[in-house]
Amino acid sequence: MLLLDKVNTPSDVKNLTEEEMVLLAQEIRDKIVETVSENGGHLASNLGVVELTIALHSVFDTPKDKIVWDVGHQCYAHKILTGRCEQINTIRTEKGLSGFPKRSESDYDCFDTGHSSTSISAALGIACSDEMQKSGAYTIAVIGDGALSGGLAFEGLNNAGRSAKRLIVILNDNKMSISRNVGSMSRYLSSIRIKPSYLHAKSKMHRLSRIPLVGKPMTRGMKRVKDWMRDEFFGQKNNLFEQLGFTYLGPYDGHNIAQLRTALQAACHKPVPVLIHVCTKKGKGYEYAEKNPKNFHGVSAFDVETGEPKSTSTGYSDVFGRCLCTLAEKDSRICAITAAMSIGTGLNAFSRQYKERFYDVGIAEEHAVTFAAGLAVGGMIPVFAVYSTFLQRSYDQLLHDAAFQKLHIVLAIDRAGIVGEDGETHQGIYDTSFLYTMPHLTLFAPSSFYELETMLSKALYDTEGIAAVRYPRGGEQYLPADYQYQGKPYSLYGNPEAPVLVVTYGREFSQACLAKEALREEGIDICILKLNVLKSMAIGAFGTAMKYPTVYFFEEGIRTGGIGEHFGFQLYDAGFQGTYRLTALNGSVPQAKTGAALHKAGLDASMIATRIRNDIKLGGTHGRKKKTGPFGL
């Protein structure tokens, strides 16, 4: 009988011996590998914190004591141990468990996470609240060394060191984030990171303490000698964390449950905030993930026996990376910037071929934008490749440091639109709305690999101010054989005399084309206006739309402040008398496969065709003046 069959809550974990906890760790690892191989997800980071998760739930009284997981992509073991083991096979599926902590999912998830570097600030707020209410609870923030490179983490540390007494920060030091860790913090942690030989000696010291009668006194004596030598030769506050007001404990072996439990129990008796430094191995227990943790950070479904993905295809990220390398070969001014995402954004080849022009700034998107602005002032052409969802963190820097100065920086916005299984925190549906507010910004939306290459070149050389190119996750979608991009700000595809005009952009153009073909078989003719430049939009695009009695706008982006809303206002402001109907996303998009999410939002080919077909049957098109206003119906 497996231990997992009888361990369902943290109370069950507390009843295990430490030897049983070690066996439980292996069972959890097997379960995680099995699940992620089918569903995709974050593998290496989850395998690295199994023992830490077991130790936390064996020592603390959750959910009264609260654990805040930074980023949250390492919470699978936590979910398994908090009543969700039987549901773990639904993780990242529609209506299944989230791949991140969700307060709506369980009382054991005290704070929703998905983006980096938030845990210390959130945990501090929770801890201060508990202190005011005299709950007697502990709050624990678990943050990785990669997330610690984010500015918000430092703001949290700076405030936490003089505040909540029942706050424990666990620094999970696995020597990397998604890409290899960079910067001064990484070097600093390397300088205090425990050596394997010292970890071994510390483990022996722990075993020595178990010797009857003499063990504990000997251990206490050795510790006093060690502490005296440290204080005598290095001073009492000999590291950054102690200078910030924390009691620093560690480093500890993050895969030694007994050692972790001892450290956690010691932290509970400290009258000040405590930082526990643990060293873990990303991908621990699964050979392929241990050897290549970068590639096994976030994975699609794979074969457990070989470690190979079950399907491979060329995506927009790959095409962007190759194109940028080609352009950089001819122009030494081109620089590439990533925020710890060189593989995910397609910059791996650039990082090897043009090391002197490649900058990984760590998980610091705000810094990346202002750094790019500085490069631009110096005469370079910086390209910041970033996921749409993470670009949100840089709004002020885009506005204040780049746009107001009319500096020429290029944003390569990856994962634009719906991304699928990672859910609300990772959907790239807000960039069009917040970028539209930026002055001196041009926003391109390619619908094919060729358009991406062409628009990237235009962004680099034919555009002033900020130039942004947004493209989706994955590969090319369907395009009609008779459609050709002419390099213009907008394209008109289909019969210009058709009574219905569909306006769209980016990946959604493919869905509109499929809907057009389906409707044509039913004798319904539509024309498609494809926007290639979303901002600043060509006046001719509005002029073209004004000629149609019925205009539909289908947008894979947020409705409020999105391109479709702006387009509608411009039409009515110019005196449009026809019918305008906007279909876009309202609020957050829950986790589901991209196709299913598009269908539910009314944005796939079948739903586009159904919307138009039903309106025609109701007499709402073909010239009837059923005015709906700029927001549509």
Q: Which residues are catalytic?
A: 282, 365, 393
Distances (CA, A) of 596 to 42, 286, 507: 21, 32, 15
Handedness of CA 236, 242, 247, 248 (dihedral sign): negative
Q: Letter for the amino acid at 153? A: A
Distances (CA, A) of 558 to 417, 555, 586: 9, 8, 6
Please give the span between the terminal C-alpha atoms of the chain, in angstroms, as a whole number: 58
Q: Give rounded-to-5 percent helix, strand, coil for the chain.
A: 45, 15, 40
Find out whether 548 and 513 touch, Cβ atoms under 8 Å.
no
Closest to 410 measured CA to CA, from 349, 455, 351, 460: 460
Kindly state the DSSP code that residue 176 receives in the 8-state scheme. B
Cα gap 262→45, rounded to integer Å: 23
Handedness of CA 603, 605, 607, 613 (dihedral sign): positive
Strands 466-470 and 550-558: unpaired
Sheet of 579-585, strand order: 490-494, 526-531, 500-505, 550-558, 579-585
Q: 386: helix, coil or strand?
A: strand
* Sequence-separated (6 or more) residues with CB below 8 Å from residue 448: 476, 479, 485
Kindly state the DSSP code that residue 101 receives in the 8-state scheme. -
Handedness of CA 531, 437, 439, 386 (dihedral sign): negative
Angle of the 50-59 helix axis to the 257-267 helix axis, nearest 10: 40
Which two structure tokens, joined as six digits, stand for 28? Answer: 């959890």
Find out whether 522 and 606 touch, Cβ atoms under 8 Å.
no
